[in-house]
Amino acid sequence: MENRTYTDVHKLLLPADLPSILEEYKDIFENYGDIYGKDKVYPRMKLTSNLLSVLFPLIEHPVYGKTGLLAIEKYKDEKVTKYMYHWKIIIPKKGKHKQHISAWGNDPHDAKNTPPELQFKSEPHHHHHIPGDWNKRQDNWDVWTLDDAFRFVAHFIRNGEEYKPD
């Protein structure tokens, strides 16, 4: 992952390079046919000139079970204006907090009434870093692209390690 600084936080980001990502991380993708009320889960992608929205189901993790990486990127003029990457438990279906493992986004939280504990040097980039607690956030200097998110998640999937935030 890049060594990013405060001067980088407002640089425009490029859209995900999906062919490269699919090749690089093909060993961690999985199909699941046992989701109630849905067809098999495999990257169901919505890709337009303005939006990428896809859930990548991942091989079973020994601690978290069946997880996936939800990726949403919004585009303007072929650049990413907003992103959200969310590693979560996908089977069984759980509430937002219980399914949460880790997530990253760049939706701004810089309003004057934002509590100090939710203001970060990496604003607008932030990391929802506590499994099971979507509300907790911290600075995010590492995951600003889908490739960054996959690199992070792939480590835990490939090694079967539990994610324990610092």
Q: Calculate mean pLDDT across residues 75-94.
A: 91
This prediction's pTM:
0.85
- How do the domains of the chain map onto residue ranges? 19-158
Task: Say if residue 119's pLDDT is above 60.
Answer: yes
CB 84 within 8 Å of CB 134: no
Interval 11-18 mean pLDDT:
81
DSSP string spanning 38-105? S--BS-EEEE-SSEEEEEEEBPPBTTTBEEEEEEEEEEETTEEEEEEEEEEEEES---HHHHEEEEEE
Kindly tell me if the per-residue pLDDT of 23 is higher than 80: yes
Q: What is the mean pLDDT of residues 39-63?
A: 82
pLDDT value of residue 111: 73
Whole-number percent of the chain with pLDDT over 90: 49
Residue 2 to residues 5, 8, 30, 128, 145, Cα–Cα distance (Å): 9, 11, 28, 19, 10
pLDDT at 49 (0 to 100): 87
Cα 15 from Cα 38, distance rounded (Å): 28
Structure tokens at 71: 């990726």
- Asked if residue 37 has pLDDT above 70, the reply is no
**Number of CB atoms found within 10 A of residue 136's CB:** 15
Contact between residue 15 and residue 78 where contact means Cβ atoms under 8 Å apart: yes
- On whether the CB atoms of residues 53 and 43 are closer than 8 A, the answer is no
What pLDDT, on the 0 to 100 scale, is given for residue 67?
95
Q: What is the CA radius of gyration of the chain?
A: 16
